[in-house]
Structure 1
Amino acid sequence: MIKQFKFISAICFAAACSSASAEDISGVWQQIDDKTGAAKAIIEIKKESNNTFTGTIVKVTPRPGYTPRETCYKCPAPYTNQPILGMEILKGLQHVSGTDNYEKGRIMDPLSGKLYDAKMRLNASGKRLTLRAYMGISTLGRSQTWIRRD
């Protein structure tokens, strides 16, 4: 009886630990450009009180031959003419229970001014996120890798 209790307790503890780590994408991430492979920006992801995740640009990474824009002038309201640094570009991302997936988010590209549906997948080590941004259906979108910085 005691062995069964210990075994069941160990399984419950392991399940709780894996579930907690799967949900934790909070932290600082380096955004990597899917076209050039260069670092673009540093994004801080936070978990909100409603259990969704938001992402804010905390640093624009300088790149050779590129002068970063300071404001989002092609962006729709409420982003129009807002500073890119400090902009909340990711909203509403929800963890899919029992998986390393996150769905139903929206992401804004401050360079093009376009809003996209977004989903993410955290890799097994917890060090990389794969972001899929798309309009309508996921197969018509683009993927980007974000690397954990903290």
Structure 2
Amino acid sequence: MTNQALAFLKRAQAALILIASCGAASAQMSPVGNWHSIDDKTGEVKSLIVIADNGGVLKGRIDKLLRKDADQKAVCKECSDDRKDKPLLGLEIIRGAKQVEGKEVWEGGKILDPENGKEYTLRLTPVEGGKKLEVRGSIAFFGRTQTWVRVL
């Protein structure tokens, strides 16, 4: 192979790597994936949440309970809708969030706190290159933000 051909192949390879890494980086700037929810008070990992995209609408469910004292057979006693008395494992806690046009923010959905059965208006914002997810639940002007950590 000539020096010109080798140089061309190296440039082509570098371009492909760059394109692939840009695609991977932008894919990470989405809430879609697996996340560890973190307890606000203790800093302990609470659960594994799986967020999926269904035609541009996000939904998320509890996949595993990770607290050392977690009851794996627990049900949502406090829920008042179709999730009442359903097992926490597999429970859909995120419903209806959509990406805000032109932004890396998802809103318009609801998030359920299975500990108190309340639903909150939801805002999801990937941060730190998609390694973390700011999860904001609010009612009117009152709310709180948790930071979840992506599970790779």
1:10 alignment counterpart: none
Match of 2:67 among 62, 66, 74: 62
Distance 1:22-1:42 versus aligned 2 partners, 3 A rule: closer
Who wins on radius of gyration, i.e. which is larger? 2
Residue by residue over 1:40-61, the C-alpha shift from the partner in whole angstroms, topping out at 9 and shown as x without a partner, is: 1100000012x11100100001
Gapped regions of structure 1 (runs ≥ 5):
1-12
The TM-score with structure 1 as length reference comes to 0.78
Bigger shift: residues 22-31 or 53-62: 22-31
CA distance, structure 2, for counterparts of residue 122 and residue 129 of structure 1:
4
CA distance, structure 2, for counterparts of residue 121 and residue 59 of structure 1:
22
Cα shift at 1:20: 5.0
Amino acid in the other structure paired with 1:92: G
1:3 alignment counterpart: none
2:94 alignment counterpart: 90
Cα shift at 1:101: 1.1
Number of residue equivalences: 131
Cα RMSD, aligned residues only: 2.2
1:107 alignment counterpart: 111
SS of the aligned residue for 2:78 comes to coil
SS of the aligned residue for 2:27 comes to helix
CA distance, structure 2, for counterparts of residue 118 and residue 29 of structure 1:
16
Residue by residue over 1:50-82, the C-alpha shift from the partner in whole angstroms, topping out at 9 and shown as x without a partner, is: x1110010000123xx44361011111201110
Could you tell me the percent identity over the aligned residues? Answer: 32
2:151 alignment counterpart: 149
1:52 alignment counterpart: 57
1:8 alignment counterpart: none
1:5 alignment counterpart: none
2:10 alignment counterpart: none
Q: Is the 8 A contact 2:96 2:109 kept in 1?
A: yes
2:44 alignment counterpart: 38
Distance 1:97-1:143 versus aligned 2 partners, 3 A rule: same
